[in-house]
């Protein structure tokens, strides 16, 4: 067939007998493109099977409704998201449940819906292949060939999405070799670039369209009230009252790092930037308010002393040195041991050296700077505490992750050229190295009783509030961050369960050891009976989100029980929802 010139409308119509792969980095607009393909098919009375792996069907329906779907009479779902992350999947006549970790369940559900529809000319929209790939790696290429390509060859059409940068380039190449069409997307400034690499009906071309959605997370949505209990707890701690009375106020840094890096698998390039901005905003809003409320409780003479000692500006070396010594000591939270580099610093350009950084310890020589959470927190604390409220930024210039013996920060009250390169310096190979390191440490501890990473002076624990910076706080801003924590938890739980069973442990022994491990990490006080209960859960303790918010823990437990017991775990109570403890049913 002779290929003709293409327009956006033409490439959004997927021809029968074709598998189109839509590739691009997270946030490039692939899902928006896919939704328009679905709407076009519904308008043409074409049956649609929508496989969703990173959102629930109800979320997809809401998005389609915003774009004018009308009555979705020809739309069926394979829900491979909710069951994977430990949420409730409601199976209906038009919705079948599957699991990203089980490619066979995806294939069976798709075939059942195809048989129910009973005709050809079906559009299969698969959004996206990223999660099945991260759970199954090499098996996904075989799945694309035997399931998706076969579905297309039977007189149907397939559009499948995949995130670039979340896996090996050669794996993406293998996926592309199977596809009949390849469309690559990216965002440049305020434009979306659609590169039609190959297509069964249109000639290769590039199409540039304006971005019609915001690529910036709306940080002004931060609502301090969700952390009100945490503010009160910190104030109580200043008065000498304990916060977590049963398990103590510290948690193993391993648990915090496992949560953060499990989520990183879903967006290695984007997550450091999100984490930096989230932590910075949380400190600007929350840190300054906490400080002011603590001050309000002090006697008048102590208030006056603090006012005398608190610099109004952090420009000069002497004032930054004073602030770090009196008000921003990371050693108290066991984050790191800090040293202000007085000789290297000057007005409005400060250098701080960190020893035994909890974000980087145990990840030496993985090939990147890793302390993006810490940089965001510190930048936000300076902006929130300084009277001038200048936009401080912090970039890591040396890191244990690069093989340096310590980490070092550059701190300035302005935009900083190196920041973008720092935040985008992590790729999928680095994330996989860190994840493999974590899995090796965890399995070594559970199987051979090898100790987890221990720092010479600060030990293995950090203040439990650091868990909030890796989980709940970013998730308050970003649905994608929330999804990645859930999926990352499910992947890590599944992988731990499989590794322990491969080491010869029985099912009950695997579950017992992992529950004991969570208690050892002081994630909370965990008990296992007919349900799983966790008191003082470090992920949500102190937060009032109004809904279950144990994104990582729920995913982790569900992945574990799915792999070991073929059971699913669903959160039915949560501290963040106002319950006295977090609780999961096992079904």
pLDDT digits (tens, 9 = 90+) for 197-256: 999 988 898 988 877 654 444 444 445 555 555 555 555 555 566 788 899 989 999 999
- Which pLDDT value is given to residue 477? 75
User: Which pair of tokens denotes residue 514?
Assistant: 């992992």
Q: Percent of the chain, pLDDT > 70?
A: 88
Distance of CA 78 to the CA centre of its chain: 23
pLDDT grade, residue 195 (50/70/90)?
A: very high
Residue 196 contacts residue 209 (beta carbons within 8 Å): no
Residue 582 contacts residue 575 (beta carbons within 8 Å): yes
Distance CA 28, CA 193 (A): 9
Q: Which of 245-259, 274-288, 290-304 has the lowest mean pLDDT?
A: 290-304
pLDDT grade, residue 302 (50/70/90)?
A: low
- Which pLDDT value is given to residue 282? 77
pLDDT digits (tens, 9 = 90+) for 325-345: 876 778 888 999 999 999 999
Average pLDDT over residues 496-510: 97
Same fold, 8-210 and 269-426: no
- Which pLDDT value is given to residue 314? 92
Distance of CA 121 to the CA centre of its chain: 36
Average pLDDT over residues 487-504: 97
CATH class belonging to 8-210: alpha beta
- Give the contacts of 537 (CB within 8 A, at least 6 positions apart): 523, 524, 550, 553, 575, 581, 582
Distance CA 49, CA 457 (A): 57
Q: Which of 164-173, 474-483, 571-580 has the lowest mean pLDDT?
A: 474-483
- Which pLDDT value is given to residue 311? 78
Structure-model confidence comparison of residues 292 and 355, the more confident one: 355
Q: Does domain 218-248+466-587 have CATH number 3.30.70?
A: no
Residue 453 contacts residue 437 (beta carbons within 8 Å): no
pLDDT digits (tens, 9 = 90+) for 466-489: 888 888 778 877 888 899 999 999
- Which pLDDT value is given to residue 67? 77
Per-residue pLDDT at 403 exceeds 90: yes
User: Which pair of tokens denotes residue 162?
Assistant: 């995949």
Helix, strand, or coil (residue 534)? strand
Query: Would strands 95-97 and 48-52 be described as parallel, antiparallel, or unpaired?
Result: unpaired
238 burial via Cβ count (<10 Å: 0-12, 13-18, 19+): middle
- Which pLDDT value is given to residue 308? 58
- Which pLDDT value is given to residue 312? 82
- Which pLDDT value is given to residue 584? 98
Whole-prediction pTM value?
0.91
CATH class belonging to 269-426: alpha beta
Top mean-pLDDT range of 58-72, 177-191, 462-476: 177-191
Return the domain boundaries, the chain.
8-210, 218-248+466-587, 269-426
Per-residue pLDDT at 178 exceeds 80: yes
Q: Which of 90-99, 354-363, 426-435, 558-567 has the lowest mean pLDDT?
A: 90-99
Residue 535 contacts residue 525 (beta carbons within 8 Å): yes
pLDDT digits (tens, 9 = 90+) for 451-461: 999 999 999 99
Per-residue pLDDT at 558 exceeds 80: yes
Per-residue pLDDT at 134 exceeds 50: yes
- Which pLDDT value is given to residue 389? 76
Phi, psi of 492 (to 5 degrees): -65, -40
Average pLDDT over residues 94-117: 95
pLDDT grade, residue 295 (50/70/90)?
A: low
- Which pLDDT value is given to residue 426? 94
Per-residue pLDDT at 4 exceeds 60: no
Residue 5 contacts residue 205 (beta carbons within 8 Å): yes
Distance CA 167, CA 525 (A): 36
Residue 568 contacts residue 83 (beta carbons within 8 Å): yes
Distance CA 199, CA 461 (A): 54
pLDDT grade, residue 531 (50/70/90)?
A: very high
User: Which pair of tokens denotes residue 123?
Assistant: 């559009």
156 burial via Cβ count (<10 Å: 0-12, 13-18, 19+): buried
- Helices and strands in the chain, H and E counts: 22, 19
Per-residue pLDDT at 73 exceeds 90: no
- Give the contacts of 31 (CB within 8 A, at least 6 positions apart): 63, 127, 128, 161
Helix, strand, or coil (residue 239)? coil
- Three-state secondary structure along 355-396? ECCCCCCCCCCCCCCCCHHHHHHHHHHHHHHCCCCCCCEEEE
Average pLDDT over residues 518-543: 95
pLDDT grade, residue 2 (50/70/90)?
A: very low
Per-residue pLDDT at 411 exceeds 90: yes
Q: Kindly report the average pLDDT of the chain as a whole number.
A: 88
Closest residue by Cα to residue 327 from 291, 278, 283, 380:
291
- Give the contacts of 386 (CB within 8 A, at least 6 positions apart): 311, 312, 313, 314, 392, 413
């Amino acid at each position: 067939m002779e290929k003709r010139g293409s327009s956006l409308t033409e490439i959004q119509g997927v021809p029968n007998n074709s598998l189109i792969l839509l590739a691009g980095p997270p946030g490039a607009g692939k899902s928006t493109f896919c939704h328009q393909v679905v709407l076009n098919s519904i308008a043409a009375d074409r049956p649609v099977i929508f496989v969703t792996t990173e959102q629930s069907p109800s979320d997809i329906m809401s998005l389609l409704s915003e774009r004018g779907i009308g009555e979705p009479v020809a739309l069926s779902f394979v829900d491979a998201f909710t069951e994977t992350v430990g949420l409730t999947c409601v199976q209906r006549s038009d919705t079948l449940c599957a699991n990203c970790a089980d490619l066979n369940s995806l294939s069976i559900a798709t075939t059942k819906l195809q048989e129910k529809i009973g005709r050809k000319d079906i559009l299969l929209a698969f959004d996206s292949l990223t999660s099945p790939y991260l759970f199954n790696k090499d098996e996904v290429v075989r799945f694309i060939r035997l399931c998706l390509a076969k579905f297309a060859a039977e007189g149907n059409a397939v559009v499948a999405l995949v995130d670039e940068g979340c896996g090996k380039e050669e794996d993406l190449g293998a996926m592309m070799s199977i596809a009949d069409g390849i469309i690559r997307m990216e965002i440049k400034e305020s434009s979306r670039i659609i590169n039609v690499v190959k297509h069964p009906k249109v000639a290769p071309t590039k199409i540039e369209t304006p971005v019609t959605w915001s690529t910036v997370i709306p940080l002004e949505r931060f609502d301090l009230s969700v952390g009100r209990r945490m503010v009160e707890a910190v104030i109580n701690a200043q008065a000498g009252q304990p916060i977590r009375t049963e398990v103590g106020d510290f948690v193993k840094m391993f648990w915090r790092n496992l949560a953060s890096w499990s989520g990183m698998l879903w967006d290695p390039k984007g997550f450091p930037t999100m984490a930096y901005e989230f932590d910075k905003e949380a400190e600007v809003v929350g840190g300054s308010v906490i400080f002011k409320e603590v001050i309000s409780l002090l006697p008048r003479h102590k208030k006056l002393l603090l006012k005398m000692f608190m610099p109004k500006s952090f420009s000069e070396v002497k004032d930054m040195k004073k602030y770090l010594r009196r008000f921003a000591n990371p050693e108290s939270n066991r984050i790191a041991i800090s040293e202000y580099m007085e000789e290297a610093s000057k007005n409005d350009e400060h250098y701080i050296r960190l020893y035994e950084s909890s974000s980087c310890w145990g990840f030496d020589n993985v090939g990147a700077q890793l302390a993006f959470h810490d940089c965001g927190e510190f930048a936000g604390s300076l902006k929130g505490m300084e009277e001038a409220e200048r936009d401080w930024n912090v970039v890591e210039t040396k890191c244990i992750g690069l093989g340096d013996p310590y980490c070092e920060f550059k701190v300035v009250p302005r935009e900083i050229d190196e920041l973008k390169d720092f935040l985008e310096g992590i790729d999928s190979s680095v994330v996989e190295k860190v994840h493999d390191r974590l899995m090796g440490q965890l399995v070594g501890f559970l199987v051979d009783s090898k100790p987890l990473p221990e720092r010479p002076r600060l030990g293995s624990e950090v203040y439990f509030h650091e868990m909030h910076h890796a989980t709940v706080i970013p998730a308050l801003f970003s649905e994608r961050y929330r999804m990645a924590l859930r999926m990352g938890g499910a992947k890590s739980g599944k992988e731990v369960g499989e590794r322990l069973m491969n080491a010869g442990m029985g099912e009950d022994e695997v579950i017992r050891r992992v529950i004991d491990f969570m208690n050892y990490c002081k994630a909370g006080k965990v008990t296992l009976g007919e349900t799983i209960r966790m008191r003082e859960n470090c992920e949500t303790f102190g937060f009032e989100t109004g809904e279950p918010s144990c994104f990582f823990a729920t995913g982790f437990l569900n992945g574990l029980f799915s792999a070991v017991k073929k059971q699913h775990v669903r959160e039915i109570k949560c501290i963040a929802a106002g319950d006295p403890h977090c609780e999961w049913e096992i079904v």
